[in-house]
């Protein structure tokens, strides 16, 4: 029974030594794959710019000619008085107008300035393109080759196991003559 127990222990030690040594170690490396979703909205903006307007209107005021000189002078004086009271001007921002009566030239003058205007049209086009980047880990096996020192120690370990195995066999033959 003692020899059987020794053989079991030797077999256990031998199997531990054999399985613990590996020819190459496998490392795992993880690559990252990135996915992301991008939505694009394209818009087109049309702007129409109308230039400013400068307008001038001159109207001549005709003198009264009834044939009666005193009546004509009274009518003309009253027309000059009424039109002189119309002199006015207004302005707001870049917009303005004025109305002036010139007694000497007997003209009614109207000036208007209207600033430029803009008309904007916005057209939106939804283009939804999907560019996908997701954060996903992909395992990749990397086989690392053995260095010279590891190879040398591996060869020495195998030779030591073979030597110990022969020594055990010789010991067992000597102790029991009938075994092997």
**Tokens of residue 166, six digits:** 């022969």
Measure Cα distances from 137 to 33, 35, 143 in Å: 7, 12, 19
Note the pLDDT of residue 30: 60
Q: In this predicted model, what pLDDT tens digit does every residue of 65-102 receive, in sequence order?
A: 888 888 888 888 888 888 888 888 898 888 898 988 88
Note the pLDDT of residue 7: 75
Note the pLDDT of residue 153: 86
Note the pLDDT of residue 143: 73
Contacts of 65 (CB under 8 A, 6+ apart): 72
Closest by CA to 98, choosing from 59, 52, 57, is 57
Note the pLDDT of residue 34: 58
Note the pLDDT of residue 157: 86
Closest by CA to 32, choosing from 137, 120, 113, is 137
Distance CA 48, CA 83 (A): 40
pTM over 0.75: no
Residues of the chain with pLDDT under 70: 1, 15-42, 124-140, 142, 177-180
Note the pLDDT of residue 62: 83
Closest by CA to 76, choosing from 63, 60, 85, 59, is 63
Percentage of the chain exceeding pLDDT 90 = 1
């Amino acid at each position: 029974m003692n020899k059987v127990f020794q053989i079991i222990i030797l077999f256990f030690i031998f199997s531990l030594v054999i399985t613990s040594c590996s020819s190459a170690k496998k490392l795992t490396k993880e690559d990252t794959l990135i996915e992301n979703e991008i939505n694009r909205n394209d818009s087109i903006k049309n702007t129409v710019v109308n230039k400013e307007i400068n307008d001038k209107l001159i109207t001549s005021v005709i003198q009264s000619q009834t044939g009666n000189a005193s009546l004509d002078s009274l009518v003309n004086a009253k027309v000059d008085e009424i039109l002189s009271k119309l002199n006015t001007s207004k302005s707001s921002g870049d917009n303005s107008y004025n109305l002036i009566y010139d007694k000497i030239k007997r003209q009614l003058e109207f000036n208007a300035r209207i600033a430029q205007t803009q008309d904007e049209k916005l057209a939106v086009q939804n283009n939804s393109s999907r560019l996908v980047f997701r954060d996903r880990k992909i395992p990749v096996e990397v086989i690392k080759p053995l260095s010279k020192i590891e190879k040398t120690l591996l060869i020495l370990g195998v030779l030591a196991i073979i030597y110990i195995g022969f020594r055990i066999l010789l010991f067992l033959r000597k102790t029991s003559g009938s075994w092997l």
